[in-house]
A and B are shown apart, each in its own frame.
Chain A
Amino acid sequence: MKILVGIKRVVDYNVRIRVKSDGSGVDTDGVKMSINPFDEIALEEALRIREAGNAEEVIVVSMGGNECQQQLRTGLAMGADRAIQVNTEGDLQPLTIARVFLKIIEKEQPGLVLLGKQAIDGDNSQTAQMLAALWDRPQATFASKLTLSGDTATVVREVDAGLETIEVDLPAVASVDLRLNEPRFVKLPDIMKAKRKPLEVISADELGVTVENDLEISHYTPPPARGKGIMVEDTAQLVAELKTRGLV
């Protein structure tokens, strides 16, 4: 079985986000970029499944300009067998991303597709569900535990009400949550080895997908600031303050 893993290049989660003063976007000049943390967890899970003998090959896929090769190389250094870059310009919206994934699925015939449950830049949380719909296959979103057995997967999902367990037939799409695993650290020799692993570049055109970003995103603004708070000295003052404000 092959496992396909999606990787998005995003502003590192430790970076303090600054909106550009002209409102045209978020400042990414000289900012540290990383693999979307959820995608890293998806990749780690794929590697563990392969290491347990339940998959033969792990393929990492990213979409974007050549700069996303950096994240694909990191994925290869973590242990993926090969990488595919779908060369595109500018941001893609989830429906287009799902259509591109579907084309790659038709070519590669994976048994499992693992994606992050959301990207920490757009916070859309859509791609896995859209891909499952277009592929007409099961979706197991927000996965915090994944167990394979033959042609089925049992997935524990983190939902608002607690932990929901579902069973899906493979092939399937799963989107992964934070508590699924802790991704490994990349070692230096693996970074050297990753340079020799295959990285294929194809364009969305070659795949026969037209990029349609029909949602217009504009006027980036920082969130409204909360008013300056006060510090109290002790618990008695805290209670007095809460009472004054009618909160207790």
Chain B
Amino acid sequence: MSRTLIIAEHDGKNLNPSTAKCASCATSIGHDFDIVVIGASVSDIASQAAAIDGAATVYSIDADHLAKPLAANHASEVVAMADGYSHILGPSTTFGRDLMPRVAALLGVNQVSDISAVEDAYHFKRPIYAGNAIVDVHAPETVKMVATVRVASWKAAGNAGSAAVEARSASSQASSHTRYVSLESGGGERPDLQTAARVISGGRAMASKENFDLIYDLADMIGAGVGASRAAVDAGYCPNDMQVGQTGKIISPDLYIAFGISGAIQHITGIKDAGTIVAVNKDADAPIFEVADIGLTADLFTVIPELKQLLG
């Protein structure tokens, strides 16, 4: 019964890249793996999942009450599929962090959160204390292993696969106690932070919502996603879905440029996996310079226009 089930993440139209990252983790665990897509009218998404390298079978569970990712509804479907699997994986995104512990508790097992590396099928590494310590976790081999995969630690699996797709009917009714109301999306058409190759962020020193346009313009010039520090979000300069850090998004772009971000430990946690970190800050003593690969002590309001000119 050594087999892994991955819970696919999607927005109703497209598969989230976090699913292909879970696939890489499943490949490291070493067993055959299947993917389940839960939602309403998900046949297109199931086809996208079927292209993930290594996937054996993609199951699609289609029902109106599963259209939105309410954990109370989705957890019942995952539990109904759990027989026949030794490992059940979801991403460490807010979708997976909401759903997977509910699944684990219903199965009566503990969960391993944020797997960053796999030693073998029951030995993992994960960060704790905002990434200030890495620990080994040994999960019991006698029970199911439920886990979230730290997406910033894994490269997406390729998409040259051709898994079989099999439709299954929903096994549960809609839960009556939880109702979806709406989603207000802050981001525009820019690259998704968790998968972008380049990310530009602004901090408190941006000083206003209007000034953030400087960051957006520069990002659009080089095709970058846009992030922010907690201070900038708290001040109302930009929406919450742009926050990078321990309690926001953990990202791993090839290039990260931080403007006017001092570098609180909680922010550093979110960018440690970046390939190259560039920091621009007026304060030469800002802690961000301790982790920056390239640092520039200067006023961002001078540097950004110069950058636009030199890169334009």
Residues of A in contact with B (beta carbons under 8 Å apart): 11, 13, 16-17, 19, 26, 93-95, 98, 117-118, 120-134, 137-139, 141-142, 144, 154, 157-169, 172, 177-179, 213-223, 226-227, 229-239, 241-242, 245, 247-248
- CB of A235 within 8 A of CB of B272, answer no
Closest chain A residue, CB of each to CB of B126: A123
29 pairs from A and B in contact (CB 8 Å cutoff): A17-B130, A93-B110, A94-B110, A95-B108, A95-B110, A120-B130, A125-B97, A125-B101, A141-B97, A141-B98, A158-B240, A160-B94, A160-B241, A161-B241, A162-B186, A163-B183, A167-B181, A172-B177, A214-B140, A218-B138, A220-B135, A221-B134, A222-B133, A223-B272, A227-B293, A232-B296, A241-B294, A242-B278, A248-B222
Task: Judge if B207 is at the interface, Cβ distance under 8 Å.
Answer: no
Q: Does chain A have a CB within 8 A of B137? A: yes
Closest chain A CB from B196 CB (angstroms): 13
Residues of A contacting B: mostly = mixed
In the complex, chain A residues whose CB is within 8 Å of the CB of B108: 95
Please tell me if the beta carbons of A123 and B114 are within 8 angstroms of each other in the complex. Answer: yes
CB of B21 closer than 8 Å to a CB of A: no
**In the bound complex, CA of A216 to CA of B131 (Å):** 19
B-side binding surface: helix, strand, loop or mixed? mixed
Interface of chain B residues 119 through 155 with chain A (CB within 8 A): 127-140, 143
Which residues of the partner chain A approach B134 to less than 8 Å between Cβ atoms? 220-223
A236→B175 CA distance, assembly (Å) = 59
The reply to whether B179 and A166 form a contact with Cβ atoms under 8 Å apart is yes
Query: Other than the known A95-B111, A127-B101, A141-B94, what 5 A-B pairs have Cβ atoms closer than 8 Å?
Result: A11-B129, A139-B102, A219-B135, A221-B135, A231-B297
B112 partner residues in chain A, CB cutoff 8 A: 215
How far does the Cβ of B146 sit from chain A's closest Cβ, in whole Å? 10
Q: A120 and B246: CB pair below 8 A? A: yes
CB pair A179–B135 under 8 Å, yes or no, is: no
A241 to B72, CA, bound (A): 50
- Chain A nearest CB from B121 CB (Å) reads 14
Contact residue among B182, B295, B298, B311 (Cβ-Cβ distance under 8 Å from A230):
B295
Chain B residues with CB under 8 Å of A216's CB are: 137-138
